[in-house]
């Protein structure tokens, strides 16, 4: 987890635009686990061997390192760049769960598209949604 966090930090270091920072972090996360499938296997083994553990280390570590991301989303909401009707924790949980699931899917069945294409699809759908502007106004 420390190595993964270091990869995210290195990828986002010096990036001040929040959406660029998010994009770089998503790509770094996917790339890290793509390049280190043995770490995915360790997560699987941890769950199998330590089933009685209240919370897997992955989530403990993730939650302990959310502060800067939480602050960034709070600021994006405050400045009107992100909707204010979704709690920050829900944003973090949803994006985190999407990436976590993608990491495991990539491990179990492999990527069906390039890492760049996979990243672009995730980023576009998360940030822009799947609805057209016309449909958004209807909803």
pLDDT confidence band for 66 (50 / 70 / 90)? very high
Q: In this predicted structure, what is the pLDDT of residue 57?
A: 87
The yes-or-no verdict on residue 54 having pLDDT over 90 is no
The yes-or-no verdict on residue 111 having pLDDT over 90 is no
Q: In this predicted structure, what is the pLDDT of residue 17?
A: 97
Handedness of CA 113, 116, 117, 121 (dihedral sign): positive
What is the arithmetic mean of pLDDT over 66-94?
96
* pLDDT tens digit sequence for 118-128: 999 999 999 99
Q: In this predicted structure, what is the pLDDT of residue 53?
A: 83
Q: In this predicted structure, what is the pLDDT of residue 139?
A: 84
Q: In this predicted structure, what is the pLDDT of residue 132?
A: 92
The count of residues in the chain is 139
What is the arithmetic mean of pLDDT over 101-110?
92
If one looks up domain 2-138 in CATH, what number appears? Answer: 1.10.357.10
Q: In this predicted structure, what is the pLDDT of residue 104?
A: 93
CA–CA separation, 15 and 81 (whole Å): 17
Q: In this predicted structure, what is the pLDDT of residue 55?
A: 87
Are 2 and 27 a contacting pair, CB within 8 Å? Answer: no
The yes-or-no verdict on residue 51 having pLDDT over 90 is no
List the chain domain ranges.
2-138
SS3 sequence, the chain?
A: CHHHHHHHHHHHCCCCCHHHHHHHHHHHHHHHHHHCHHHHHHHHHHHHHCCCCCCCHHHHHHHHCCHHHHHHHHHHHHCCCCCCCCCHHHHHHHHHHHHHHHHHHHHHHCCCCCHHHHHHHHHHHHHHCCCCHHHHHHC
What is the arithmetic mean of pLDDT over 32-40?
95
């Amino acid at each position: 987890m420390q190595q993964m966090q270091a990869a995210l930090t290195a990828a986002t270091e010096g990036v001040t635009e929040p959406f660029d920072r998010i994009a770089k972090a998503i790509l770094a996360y996917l790339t890290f686990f793509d390049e280190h499938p043995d770490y995915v296997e360790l997560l699987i083994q941890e769950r199998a061997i330590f089933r009685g553990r209240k919370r897997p280390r992955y989530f403990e570590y993730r939650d302990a390192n959310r502060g800067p991301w939480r602050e960034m989303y709070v600021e994006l909401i405050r400045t009107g760049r992100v909707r204010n009707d979704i709690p920050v924790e829900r944003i973090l949980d949803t994006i985190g769960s999407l990436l976590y699931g993608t990491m495991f899917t990539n491990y179990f069945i492999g990527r069906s598209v390039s890492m760049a294409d996979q990243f672009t699809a995730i980023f576009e759908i998360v940030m822009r949604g799947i609805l057209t502007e016309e449909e958004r106004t209807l909803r």
